[in-house]
């Protein structure tokens, strides 16, 4: 049985993340979407519980995907779950340097867990949580970037600040 984890911030989950999760679920027997727990030093827009909830809602239709949260090293989580593979998505070349560093560091820490990349689909290649937040913050159209539940959460988050 091939088990994969798909780790990330998912702040918040977008159609781009969902596309990767769906495609990974077609390749692996089980995919854990692993939402990294908020560390005080890193500021996310959404707390861990809300990021987790939005991911669960967005991915509940895929039977072999389970959404969890975690703290600490991703390779430790992979070992705990018996995952042989870490899944990540690649958009433009700008993702490459960061992902390369991560993959090499992770392989040093856990040579038994390899990272497998899915190339972003053309329609999602420009979708990025940070840009999404900026567009939402300026009241721009986001319905092509995220499901309704995420759009509603973004609006609520923005309105709660004013
Ligand atoms: P990070 O761990 O850098 O905060 P994210 O949580 O935003 O990353 O994303 C988790 C993974 O999903 C990363 O590998 C990222 O490259 C990938 N990803 C994010 N958005 C997309 C997208 N639109 N298409 C493909 N992959 C994506």
Q: Mind listing the pLDDT tens digit for each residue in 69-90? A: 999 999 999 999 999 999 999 9
Quickly count: other Cβ atoms within 10 Å of residue 21's Cβ: 25
- Residue of 9, 30, 88, 129 marked active site: 129
- Whether 158 is in a domain gets the answer no
Helix, strand or coil, per DSSP, at residue 147: coil
Count of domains for the chain: 1
Cα–Cα distance for residue pair 103/44, rounded to 1 Å: 23
Instruction: Please indicate whether residue 130 is annotated as part of the active site.
Output: no
Instruction: Please indicate whether residue 129 is annotated as part of the active site.
Output: yes
* Cβ–ligand 1 contact at 10 (below 6 Å): yes
- Whether 143 is in a domain gets the answer no
Instruction: Please indicate whether residue 91 is annotated as part of the active site.
Output: yes
Q: pTM for the full model? A: 0.94
- Whether 19 is in a domain gets the answer yes
Domain of 67: which CATH number? 3.40.50.620
* Cβ–ligand 1 contact at 129 (below 6 Å): yes
Instruction: Please indicate whether residue 43 is annotated as part of the active site.
Output: no
- Whether 52 is in a domain gets the answer yes
CA-nearest residue for atom 26, ligand 1, is 89
- Whether 134 is in a domain gets the answer no
Q: Mind listing the pLDDT tens digit for each residue in 108-130? A: 999 999 999 999 999 999 999 99
- Whether 109 is in a domain gets the answer yes
How far from each other are the two terminal CA atoms of the chain, in whole angstroms? 49
In terms of C-beta distances under 8 Å and separation of at least 24 residues, what long-range contacts does 151-154 make, across chains too? Answer: 153/12, 153/46, 153/50, 153/54, 154/12
Q: Write out the residue range of the structural domain in which residue 63 sits.
A: 3-126
Q: Does residue 53 surpass a pLDDT of 60?
A: yes
- Whether 25 is in a domain gets the answer yes
CA dihedral (53, 55, 61, 67) in degrees, to 10, reads: -90
- Whether 150 is in a domain gets the answer no
Q: Pocket of ligand 1, candidates 17, 38, 85: which has the most ligand atoms within 8 Å of its Cβ, to mutate?
A: 17
List, in sequence order, every beta strand (DSSP E) within the chain: 3-8, 30-36, 65-70, 85-90, 114-119
Q: Mind listing the pLDDT tens digit for each residue in 5-49? A: 999 999 999 999 999 999 999 999 999 999 999 766 568 999 999
Average confidence (pLDDT) over 52-56: 98
Name the more confident of 93 and 140. Answer: 140
Cα–Cα distance for residue pair 154/79, rounded to 1 Å: 34
* Cβ–ligand 1 contact at 88 (below 6 Å): yes
- Would you state the pLDDT for residue 162? 62
């Amino acid at each position: 049985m091939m088990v994969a984890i798909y780790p990330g911030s998912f702040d918040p989950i977008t159609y781009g993340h969902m596309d990767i999760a769906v495609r990974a679920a077609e390749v692996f027997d089980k995919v854990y979407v692993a939402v990294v727990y908020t560390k005080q030093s890193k500021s996310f827009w959404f707390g861990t519980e809300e990021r987790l909830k939005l991911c669960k809602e967005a991915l509940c239709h895929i039977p072999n995907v389970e959404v969890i949260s975690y703290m600490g090293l991703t390779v430790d989580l992979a070992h705990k779950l018996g995952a042989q593979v870490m899944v990540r998505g690649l958009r433009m070349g700008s993702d490459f340097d960061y992902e390369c560093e991560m993959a090499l560091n992770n392989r040093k820490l856990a040579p038994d867990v390899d990272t497998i990349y899915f190339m972003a689909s053309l329609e999602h290649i420009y979708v990025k949580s940070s840009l999404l937040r900026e567009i939402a913050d300026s009241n721009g159209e986001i319905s092509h970037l995220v499901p309704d539940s995420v759009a509603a959460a973004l609006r609520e988050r923005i309105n709660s600040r004013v």
